[in-house]
Copies of this chain bind each other. A is one copy, B any other.
Amino acid sequence: MVSNGERNKRKVLPPDERREMILDAALDVFSKGGFQDADVDEIAQLAQVGKGTVYRYYPSKRELYLAVVERVFDHLEARLEVVQGQSQSPSQVLRAGVAEHVRFFTENPRCWRVLVIGRLENRFHPCHDTMLAHHTLLESLTTLIRKGIASGDFREVDSEFAAFALMAMAATVVEKHFHQDRDTLQEDINSALDIYLRGIGK
């Protein structure tokens, strides 16, 4: 006989599941109005957890916030790793990576908002994990573009800047997707990549 009745006040959940619920609720709330606007009470309620419990899992609102951001990066990286596995031409890798990147964020708007707001709210110190994750992403892009230049696929652009620019193109597609009614996602991904690859191509 399982104690799993609907009426149980105190659900018995494994800590990991509980932690997950908290993180998820936090993502929801932080993504609405950023760090300041978020109310720990609201997070606790959404997570169906006492407020004190939130503080048992994370020592402060700030730590919880950083954990949320970190998890978003983890998810993103997991999605991007799949792409990197396949060995293809630099252009193809770029195409696949951007498409995946854009799809991840358009499918998970809360993840997008939480990252973008976070960056602008200056919430994380530049040396924080979350910022490092961002840097890592940029660096692998830079490397990829360098490879493309070396292989003769791309012309001699400033690889570091080109990496930045690619992120910006991707971001554009995502933002555009959120700010309009029609669904032009696939076309926009193509438009973005066409402009960009033509722009850095030979």
Contacts and interface: CB of A to CB of B under 8 A. Distances in A.
A122 B187 CA distance: 26
Contact of A121 (B33, B172, B191, B194): B33
A128 interface: no
A165 interface: yes
Interface in A154-183: 157-158, 161-162, 164-165, 167-169, 171-172, 175-176
Given A34-B34, A121-B33, A122-B32, A194 B199 contact: yes
A4 B162 CA distance: 55
A100 interface: no
Interface stretch (A11-19, A44-52, A112-120): A112-120
A33 B122 contact: yes
Contacts of A198: 198-200
A139 interface: no
A191 B34 contact: no
A36 interface: yes
Interface residues of A, number: 36
Contact of A157 (B37, B116, B175, B191): B191
Contact of A171 (B168, B196, B197, B200): B168
Contact of A169 (B157, B165, B191): B165
A188 interface: yes
Given A158-B187, A195-B157, A196-B195, A121 B34 contact: yes
A184 B184 CA distance: 35
29 contacts: A32-B122, A33-B36, A34-B34, A34-B120, A34-B121, A36-B37, A37-B121, A116-B120, A117-B121, A157-B191, A158-B187, A158-B188, A161-B184, A161-B187, A161-B191, A162-B191, A162-B195, A164-B172, A164-B176, A165-B169, A165-B172, A165-B192, A168-B171, A168-B172, A169-B169, A194-B199, A195-B200, A196-B199, A197-B199
